[in-house]
Amino acid sequence: MNARIRDTLLCILPPALISAKRRLFPVPSPRPAQPSAAELEHHRLNADVPKNEMLLRPGCRLTVHPESRAPFTAFCFYKPEMVSEMDGHIQD
């Protein structure tokens, strides 16, 4: 969100509404300093892959725009629930 719009909304909205928004939609915590085993495996798999491709799992290669790679990492290591969902689809 644009900083100017955010500042304007913070000035106009009542504090109770801002507090409720923060409780309902918390800011995600930053990624841990130490990479997980799944993240290390993802980086190992993708070390020699062209920038327009991505290996989600061994044998599961996608062609993506280089700027679109980041959202797919949720299925590789970033979001555990999405990782298990992807694993379930691959097993089927």
Q: What is the pLDDT of residues 53-62, one digit of tens each?
A: 999 888 889 9
On the 0-12 / 13-18 / 19+ scale of CB atoms within 10 A, 58 is exposed
* Mean pLDDT rounded to a whole number for the chain: 83
d(CA 24, CA 30): 18
Report helix, strand or coil for 13. Answer: coil
d(CA 56, CA 46): 9
* Arithmetic mean of pLDDT, 6-31: 78
**What pLDDT score does 17 carry?**
79
d(CA 12, CA 24): 19
Please tell me the least confidently modeled range out of 6-20, 36-50, 62-76. Answer: 6-20
Q: Largest alpha-carbon pair distance within the chain?
A: 52
